[in-house]
Amino acid sequence: MRLFDDRAANLAGDQESNMQISIIVVVDAAATLEQTFLEENAYILDNTRVFSAFHDEAGEKTTHVCGVCNADGSQAEEAVLNWLVTGVSSVPPTLPRNFPDLQITSPVPPPSETTTLALPMKTSYPRDASIYGHGSPVLHPAGGPILNPMGWVVIDPGKAPTGEDGETSAKDEGGGKTEAPRALQKKSIKLQSAKRFMAVAPSTNGPTGGVGKALTLHTSQDEHISHNDISSYVPPQISSIYGPAVDNGVMFPALYGSPEAKTEGWYWSASVDVSKIGTHLYYMDVVLLEAQSNSCGDGEWVPRTFTLTGKLAVSRVIKRNGFATPAGYGSLPLRPTQ
């Protein structure tokens, strides 16, 4: 079995510390909701193809992590994984977070506040026994329930028109508070064009939250859009990363946030112990919001959690000097030259 590819080995060995690996998870939400199955409706991309030669058992959803060790075999650096999840039909993540049609706020208020949505300045991932909540409500150490620390997409239904323009925006008064959406009415919003991505506010009623009121959408030709298509416009989110790779200390995932509170740039990131050579499984819980109609005829957003399997293939090479120096290239540390 050929263990090393020259180019890959050179590249890995010449890497600076903390190789940042981007893992993109692309979810076809409409197909997932229709088939109630995620594994074949999600795609995993990453920037580690060049290291794929290290493992013969590479699969489509395998991320190749090539670590770096010192000449004596001790670990030199760790690798870092960064996940970005996006939907095939959701708003592009390249849009600024304060785009008027897309305002992110906290999904679930503390139980005592049923009329306002609180925007927590800090939402830490609960590091307790319920860390593998698998999308179910997880008690925050502070005591309030948090269904999902990432936040849902919100519009201000007060601006939901009966006219042509379907554009809405959520109000943000700053200071960590967002005005609660006014009572959602059973209005129809005409879908103007592909430019408009529609989203709805989560309900402020109920202890678990996360269930919102949807508006019935009609096109300008008064045709219905399927509920799954509506659902596919809302960006999917990863609520949990767990599994053998975490249990065995291969990687240490956590949610990290953008320093800008308003944008809430949450993303999953993990450092990898590259001494754990081999192939390791991990699981991601992906949460989709499904638009449904309840028995009263009202629209509702129901969070649906699906599990996606990923793999890490960890290998490592000896750290080398990649800079042109009088001492030349070679394993580190270099001998001092005269």
Q: Which residues bind another protein (CB under 8 A)?
A: 22, 24, 26, 28, 30-31, 34-35, 41, 43, 45, 47, 49-50, 84, 86, 88-89, 92-96, 99-100, 167, 193-195, 219, 221, 223, 225-226, 229, 232
Q: How far apart are CA 289 and CA 61, in angstroms?
A: 24
CB 140, CB 74: distance < 8 Å: no
Report how far residue 114's alpha carbon sits from residue 93's, in angstroms, rounded to the nearest whole number.
30
In the complex, the smallest distance separating the C-beta of residue 94 from another protein, rounded to whole angstroms, is 5
Q: Minimum Å distance from CB 275 to another protein?
A: 26
Nearer to another protein by Cβ, of 95 and 327: the residue is: 95
Q: Which is nearer to another protein, 59 or 141 (CB)?
A: 59
Give the span between the Cα atoms of 38 and 273, in whole angstroms: 28
Nearest in space to 203 (alpha carbons), one of 248, 246, 159, 147: 147
**Are 139 and 123 within 8 A, CB to CB?**
no
> Which CB sits closer to another protein, 72 or 222?
222
Cα angle for residues 283, 289, 293 (degrees, 5° grid):
140
- Least separation in angstroms between residue 162's CB and another protein is 20
Q: In whole angstroms, what is the distance from residue 22 CA to residue 42 CA?
A: 16
- Give 206-226 as a DSSP string: SSS---EEE-EEEETTSPBPP
- Residue (of 247, 255, 256) closest to 282 by Cα position: 247
Shortest Å, Cβ 176 to another protein = 25
- Smaller CB separation from another protein, 17 or 219: 219
**φ and ψ at 297, to 5 degrees?**
90, 0
Which residue, 177 or 218, is less far from another protein as judged by CB?
218
If the CB atoms of residues 30 and 274 are measured against another protein, the closer one turns out to be 30
Q: What is the greatest pairwise CA distance in the chain?
A: 85
Q: What are the residues whose beta carbons fall under 8 Å from the beta carbon of 129, sequence distance 6 or more?
A: none
- Nearest distance from C-beta of residue 87 to another protein, angstroms: 8
Kindly state the helix (H) or strand (E) to which residue 282 belongs, with its residue range: strand 278-293
| Residue 146: CB minimum distance to another protein, A | 25
Least distance CB 82 / another protein (angstroms):
8
Pick the closer one to another protein by CB: 22 or 248.
22
- The Cα–Cα gap between 205 and 275 comes to 48
Closest distance of CB 187 from another protein, Å: 19
26 versus 332: smaller Cβ distance to another protein: 26
